[in-house]
């Protein structure tokens, strides 16, 4: 039984997070969210790095104390190497390096996207992990892709967005509606009171398993501009129906390709991961396919959907067991494909 204790650090975007894992069990998962970006309608990279700088020590200290361990119990330090905002990643990377060096333990680099997917292997009494091979729809603010997961360290991206990510579509359309950033969770909430069939928006027609979300964004923008000319209060009067209709369209686009992939590859183990996997309509669509198509579905616990260090600690634990350590000269990288992270240096 593996009982190694690993500290994970995540700082790829606007959440500073630290988590402690023992074996595959999370002992603590602390995050400091940066509310400062809400006023700007999106993440401001300069402000994000500065806030990480302020948050990282208190967040790590809290994760260690809440896990009820001492620093000397830590066997390795894992950190997000990429993808993400470079300035943000550099804060976590530098901090992880210094800590690993001062504790005299190995340093482990983690690919953020692989971590979203492998969050499904965090031990939980009530949830079984997926069986290989499975499909994972990985949907966040920066990425949207269907990944064929053959093993922990053998994954193939079979479809990806050709323009915006699904979370980005939620956030940009929310901005058109005048909603705060990030708009995804707000649209989800308002949609609960709306009629999802009120409005129809353009859907992309792309080959294979690729996605596109810029078309729906433009379609919403033109529609709103046209309606506002007739009625300046159009958004306010219809916000719930607008949110429900947009959410239905995005979820349909996501599910169409996922269903096609599952059918073509004959894989019924289907997971979702990433920030948008928190969306209640997407979760409901997965549930419905479990009943309709016999899918075995895997939906992450809410706290492991948006960016968190628990998932980083999980991958670091798997790499620790394999003895895959990073050199202290390792550097953060803004672009970092999942497939690239499996290449041996």
**In contact, 345 and 331? CB cutoff 8 Å:** no
Please pick, from the candidates 141, 159, 194, 300, the single residue that binds ligand KG4 as defined by CB under 6 A. 141
Cα dihedral 68/307/189/176 (nearest 10): 150
> Is residue 10 near Zn ion by the rule CB under 5 A?
no
Closest CA to 7 of 317, 323, 305: 317
Please pick, from the candidates 82, 182, 215, 300, the single residue that binds ligand KG4 as defined by CB under 6 A. 182
CB of 8 to ligand KG4, least distance (A): 15
Please pick, from the candidates 55, 140, 279, 308, the single residue that binds Zn ion as defined by CB under 5 A. 140
CB of 271 to Zn ion, least distance (A): 15
The token pair that represents 269 in the structure block: 């183990």
Q: Let me know if 263 is exposed, middle or buried by CB neighbors in 10 A (0-12, 13-18, 19+).
A: exposed
Stretch in the footprint of ligand KG4 (CB under 6 A) among 164-172, 202-210, 224-232, 253-261 = 164-172
Please pick, from the candidates 109, 164, 188, 241, the single residue that binds ligand KG4 as defined by CB under 6 A. 188
> Is residue 29 near ligand KG4 by the rule CB under 6 A?
no
Alpha carbon distance 135, 267 (integer Å): 7
CB of 132 to ligand KG4, least distance (A): 23
The token pair that represents 23 in the structure block: 């074996």
3-state DSSP helix/strand/coil % of the chain, to nearest 5: 50, 20, 30
DSSP 142: S
CB of 22 to ligand KG4, least distance (A): 25
Please, which residue, 55 or 279, has the CB nearer to ligand KG4? 279
> Is residue 247 near Zn ion by the rule CB under 5 A?
no
DSSP reduced 3-state for 245: helix
Helix ranges (DSSP H) in 192-298? 214-230, 234-265, 280-293
Closest CA to 119 of 105, 140, 98, 99: 140
Which of ligand KG4, Zn ion, none binds 311 (CB below 5-8 Å, type-dependent)? none
**Beta-bridge partner residues of 127:** 124
> Is residue 194 near ligand KG4 by the rule CB under 6 A?
no
Please pick, from the candidates 48, 74, 242, 278, the single residue that binds ligand KG4 as defined by CB under 6 A. 278
Which residues, including other chains, have CB under 8 Å from residue 329's CB and lie 6 or more apart? Answer: none
Which residues, including other chains, have CB under 8 Å from residue 291's CB and lie 6 or more apart? Answer: none
Cα dihedral 14/18/22/28 (nearest 10): -100
Please, which residue, 178 or 232, has the CB nearer to ligand KG4? 178
Closest CA to 340 of 153, 146, 116: 153
How many residues make contact with Zn ion (CB under 5 A)?
2
> Is residue 300 near ligand KG4 by the rule CB under 6 A?
no
Please pick, from the candidates 10, 164, 241, 307, the single residue that binds ligand KG4 as defined by CB under 6 A. 307
Q: Contact letters (x/-) for Zn ion, 283-312, by CB under 5 A? A: ------------------------x-----
CB of 307 to Zn ion, least distance (A): 4
Binding site residues, Zn ion, CB under 5 A: 140, 307
Binding site residues, ligand KG4, CB under 6 A: 13, 140-142, 167, 170-171, 182-185, 188, 274-276, 278-279, 306-307
């Amino acid at each position: 039984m593996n009982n190694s204790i690993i500290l994970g650090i995540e700082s790829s975007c606007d959440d500073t997070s630290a988590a402690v894992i023992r074996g595959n069990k999370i002992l603590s998962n602390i995050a400091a969210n940066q509310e400062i970006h809400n006023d700007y309608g999106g993440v401001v990279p300069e402000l994000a790095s500065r806030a990480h700088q302020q948050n990282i020590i208190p967040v790590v200290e809290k994760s260690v104390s809440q896990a009820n361990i001492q620093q000397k119990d830590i066997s390795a330090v894992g950190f997000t190497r990429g993808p993400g905002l470079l300035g943000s990643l550099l804060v976590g990377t530098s901090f992880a390096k210094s800590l690993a060096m001062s504790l005299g333990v190995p340093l482990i680099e983690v690919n953020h996207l692989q971590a979203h997917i492998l969050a499904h292997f965090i031990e939980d009494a009530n949830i079984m992990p997926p069986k290989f091979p499975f499909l994972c729809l990985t949907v966040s603010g920066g990425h949207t892709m269907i990944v064929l997961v053959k093993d922990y360290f053998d994954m193939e991206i079979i479809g990806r967005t050709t323009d915006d990510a699904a979370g980005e579509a939620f956030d940009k359309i929310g901005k058109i509606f005048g909603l705060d950033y990030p708009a995804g969770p707000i649209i989800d909430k308002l949609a609960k009171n709306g009629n999802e069939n009120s409005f129809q928006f353009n859907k992309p027609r792309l080959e294979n398993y690729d996605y596109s979300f810029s078309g729906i964004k433009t379609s919403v923008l033109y529609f709103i501009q046209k309606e506002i000319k007739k009625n300046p209060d159009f958004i306010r009067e219809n916000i719930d129906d607008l949110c429900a209709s947009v959410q239905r369209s995005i979820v349909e686009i996501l599910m169409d390709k996922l269903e096609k992939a599952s059918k073509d590859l004959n894989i019924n183990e289907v997971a979702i991961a990433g920030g948008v996997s928190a969306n209640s309509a997407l979760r409901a669509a997965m549930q419905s396919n479990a009943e309709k198509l016999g899918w075995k579905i895997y939906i992450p616990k809410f706290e492991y959907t948006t960016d968190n260090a628990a998932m980083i600690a999980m991958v670091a634990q798997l790499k620790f067991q394999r003895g895959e350590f990073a050199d202290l000269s390792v550097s953060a990288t803004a672009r970092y494909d999942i497939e690239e992270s499996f290449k041996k240096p």
